[in-house]
Structures are given as C-alpha cells and as structure tokens.
Amino acid sequence: MALFSSDEVKGKWKQQVGKAKLAWGKLTEDELLAAEGREDKLTGLIQERYAITRDEARKQVKEFFNQ
C-alpha cells in the first residue's frame, strides 16, 4: 500500500487529474483540481456524483491511488 504525504499528493495530483477524469468521468476537471488529491474530498465527490456508499467511494479512491 502506497502512502504519500499530503504535499506529495498535491504535487503529483495535477499529473493524475487526467487519469482520474478517465476513472470518474462524471467529475469535472475543476472538481478534481479542487480536491487537490485529498482522499476525503475525492471520496465525497464520488459518493455524491455516483450515488454510491461512502465505503464504496473510499474503496475506489484507495484503488486509484494504489495504482
């Protein structure tokens, strides 16, 4: 399991937005950029937009970051 500091995630996030957009097409690039790669923000956006449970959204986010 890859663990990143908050600064590392923010620094790499802009590079990952394209991949995130492919994974979660219902989210806009602006929403993804605003999430700044933070798991909690991204989980909330995915849960809301896709009408899934928080646990399922969290699972998807963790799988995305572990790729």
Q: One digit per residue, pLDDT tens: the chain, 67 residues? A: 455 566 666 678 888 999 999 999 999 999 999 999 899 999 999 999 999 999 999 999 999 989 8
Q: What is the CATH number of domain 6-65?
A: 1.10.1470.10
Q: Who contacts 14 (Cβ-Cβ below 8 Å, separation ≥6)?
A: 33
d(CA 67, CA 51): 24
